[in-house]
Amino acid sequence: MIELSHVSKTYAPSFGHPARALDDVSFRVAAGEVVGLSGPAGAGKTTLLSLVLGHVRPSSGSVRVDGIEARRFVEREGIAYLPQPLALPGRWRVADALTRLAMLSGIRASYTRQRVDAVMRELGLYDARRVRVKSLTRDGRTRLGLAQAILGDRRVIVLDEPLEGMSANSLDRLRELIVRLRAFDRAILIASRDTAELQRITDRVTIMDRGRVRRLGTPRPATPVDIETVFHLVMHQGGEHVLAVFPTAISLGRSTFAVRVHGVAPLNRGLKELLDRGALLASVAPAHAAVDSSALAILNEVGT
Amino acid sequence: MKARLTAYAGLQLRDYFLGRAVAVIVATAAATWAYASTRGLTLSVFDSAGGIDARDRLEHAFEFVLATFAFIAAAVAAQGLVARHRARAYDRLLFSRRMRPVRFYGQGFVAAGIGAVMVATAAAELYAVAVHPVSVVGVAGYVALTWLTIGGLAFALSTLTTFHVPLLGLAVGADFVLDHYSSGHGATDAATRVIGVVQYFLPPAHVVAALREPFARGLVVEFHELAWPVVFGIACLTVAVVLLRRRPFAS
């Protein structure tokens, strides 16, 4: 869905020396994937995201989204985007800002209020709906950034440093959000310096350093059948049965549970029992991405 | 889902009234106070028994206020749009949505023009009822013309630099200075010709300023008098559109 082919980007300022931000980068995110982009500051992550959003044009190579030039795709469909830092006028109040951006996201007038309220509740901003943007904490601003990004129903989601300044609670919300947003026809690209957390919330992590891809993340192997794995269960109804069926489960709030099991067989037995008790599941997904030893070696090498 | 930009125009107009319009009114009031102080105008000019002289002074004062308002409103018509959004990277958040910068900023600029015309029209209507008759349509037309000519240049400059307001001030100031010099007795014919050529590269602010009187009094203005400011304004807006299309973002 997102495809960068031999992309280089050199910034040539009016004064001073040109700076090469990306050097022959090839990179792909397929529909249905959640991909992490990691690397130290200055690695070229934000430039790569800017290319995907069509904010900048590549000096060479091509950037295509869903088969068409990136900027044309954005103007045709739009991309859900969390920028870092979040640049919104400080005098706006949270609900006003989201209402305006909902309008610009094309949400119907009759549905705007409902959608804005739902997004504020999902990201824990409802109580802060009358707070001015400039008064929000860093965590609050990041959540507002996420909220405005998910107002519309987009097929491509790009999040730049969503983990910046996030509290533990917000991190849980983000994990739940990623699980909820995952869809077979949606590509999610997340850039962060927090490689460890990216490993947890994405299918694979690509590591960048000094404008080059140091390691292309490979798709996470199928969840091993005989090792302890944590799954996230999002319940549609019958959440009260989860602790009875999985005694070690931890409630993450909002009908989401972290369930630790040894392999997929006990997971499926438990799920069957839940269904037999009348519960309905909204989604099941492994909470932790596998980290292979070569990836860890590269992480150590680039010092992240 | 396409952005509901037409509906958003209402918010852009509201932003104008709550922000730039207030600043324009305050700046115009300050300029009016300065004008009244230097010209020795007192409240007695409002006295209907003041005769022709008082009425004449009042009309000139009104025309000064009109031109001041129109120029300031035009100068800030593009304020807070392209250049500020780029400086704060707000444009990146906005245009990840399904819309084009030309449409969004063009609409914001038009909203500023409509807002300025509405403020001027309301003030002129009140003035005409309370003090002495002025052409409300002429006032609206004058503010619109200034918005097109001076505001058009401001809009084009804002797609290039964050310093568009000072640059606009310099360009307008240079035009007035050159016009003052060439129309004075000291200028030679050769100098006047050179200045005439140079002025074609500057905003025709002196032409717009000179039109305040016929507009405010509701007199007929010949098309050839409007041609230069209108063509200049349209040319600036065309340049702005081309620049926004070719370079929609800061980098």
pLDDT in tens, B200-222: 889 999 999 999 999 999 898 88
Tell me which of A59, A104, A111, A116 to substitute to probe the interface with B (most B C-beta atoms closer than 10 Å): A104
Q: What is the reported pLDDT for B1?
A: 66
Q: Per-residue pLDDT for A290 more than 50?
A: no
Q: Please judge whether A106 and B2 are an interchain contact, meaning their C-beta atoms are less than 8 angstroms apart.
A: yes
- Search chain A and give the residue with CA nearest B19: A91
Q: How confident is the model at residue A102 (pLDDT cuts 50, 70, 90)?
A: very high
In this prediction the pTM is 0.79
Q: What is the reported pLDDT for B172?
A: 94
Q: What is the reported pLDDT for B169?
A: 93
Q: Does A177 touch chain B (CB under 8 A)?
A: no
Tell me the C-alpha distance between B86 and B84, whole Å: 5
Q: Which residues of A226-237 are buried (b: 16+ CB within 10 A; e: fewer)?
A: eeebebbbbbee
Q: What is the reported pLDDT for A14?
A: 73
Q: Per-residue pLDDT for A224 more than 60?
A: no
Q: What is the reported pLDDT for A66?
A: 92
DSSP-assigned letter for residue A216: P
Q: Per-residue pLDDT for A122 more than 60?
A: yes
Q: What is the reported pLDDT for A96?
A: 94
**Chain position carrying tokens 């209108």:** B230
> Which residues on chain B are in Cβ contact (under 8 Å) with A142?
none
Residues A276, A277, A278, A281, CA torsion sign: negative
Alpha-carbon distance A89 to nearest alpha carbon in chain B (angstroms): 8
Q: Write out the two tokens for B127.
A: 């003035």
Cite the DSSP H helix spans in A150-211: 168-181, 195-201
- Maximum alpha-carbon separation in chain B: 64
Q: Please judge whether B8 and A100 are an interchain contact, meaning their C-beta atoms are less than 8 angstroms apart.
A: yes
Q: Per-residue pLDDT for B70 more than 90?
A: yes
Q: Per-residue pLDDT for B157 more than 50?
A: yes
Residues A93, A95, A98, A103, CA torsion sign: negative
Helix (H) or strand (E) holding B17: helix B5-18
Alpha-carbon distance B107 to nearest alpha carbon in chain A (angstroms): 13
Q: Per-residue pLDDT for A235 more than 70?
A: yes
Q: Write out the two tokens for B135.
A: 């052409």
Q: What is the pLDDT of residues A133-183, one digit of tens each?
A: 999 988 899 999 999 999 988 999 999 988 887 888 888 888 888 888 888
Q: Does A81 touch chain B (CB under 8 A)?
A: yes
Q: What is the reported pLDDT for B174?
A: 93
Across all residues in chain B, what is the average pLDDT?
89
Q: What is the reported pLDDT for A148?
A: 93
Q: What is the reported pLDDT for A85?
A: 84
- Say which residues have a Cβ less than 8 Å from residue B67's Cβ, sequence separation at least 6: B142, B146, B208, B209, B212
- Search chain B and give the residue with CA nearest A53: B96
Report yes or no: B93 and B105 within 8 Å, Cβ to Cβ. no
Q: What is the pLDDT of residues B228-251, one digit of tens each?
A: 999 999 999 999 999 999 888 876
Question: Nearest CB to A106: which of B90, B94, B98?
Answer: B98
Q: How confident is the model at residue A215 (pLDDT cuts 50, 70, 90)?
A: confident
Phi then psi for residue A141, to 5 deg, are -65, -40
> Which residues on chain A are in Cβ contact (under 8 Å) with B90?
87-89
Q: Please judge whether B89 and A87 are an interchain contact, meaning their C-beta atoms are less than 8 angstroms apart.
A: yes
Report yes or no: A82 and A61 within 8 Å, Cβ to Cβ. no
Q: What is the reported pLDDT for A217?
A: 63
> Which residues on chain A are in Cβ contact (under 8 Å) with B248?
71
Q: What is the pLDDT of residues B110-131, one digit of tens each?
A: 999 999 999 999 999 999 988 8
- Say which residues have a Cβ less than 8 Å from residue B187's Cβ, sequence separation at least 6: B181, B195
Interface of B with A (CB under 8 A): 1-5, 7-8, 11, 88-90, 92-100, 248-249, 251
Query: Could you tell me how many CB contacts below 8 A there are between chain A and chain B?
Result: 78
Q: Per-residue pLDDT for A304 more than 50?
A: no
Q: Per-residue pLDDT for A222 more than 50?
A: no
Q: How confident is the model at residue A199 (pLDDT cuts 50, 70, 90)?
A: confident
Q: Please judge whether A104 and B5 are an interchain contact, meaning their C-beta atoms are less than 8 angstroms apart.
A: yes
- Rounded mean pLDDT of A283-300? 56
Q: What is the reported pLDDT for B49?
A: 67
Q: What is the reported pLDDT for B28?
A: 95
> Which residues on chain B are in Cβ contact (under 8 Å) with A89?
90
Helix (H) or strand (E) holding A62: strand A60-65
Q: Please judge whether B5 and A86 are an interchain contact, meaning their C-beta atoms are less than 8 angstroms apart.
A: no
Q: Per-residue pLDDT for A303 more than 80?
A: no
Which long-range contacts (C-beta less than 8 Å, at least 24 apart) are formed by B134-138? Answer: B134/B62, B134/B216, B134/B217, B134/B218, B135/B215, B135/B216, B135/B217, B135/B218, B137/B218, B138/B214, B138/B215, B138/B216, B138/B217, B138/B218, B138/B219
Q: What is the pLDDT of residues A41-100, one digit of tens each?
A: 888 899 999 999 999 999 999 999 999 999 999 999 999 999 988 888 889 999 999 999
Q: How confident is the model at residue A264 (pLDDT cuts 50, 70, 90)?
A: confident
Q: Please tell me which residue, A12 or B242, carries the higher pLDDT value.
A: B242
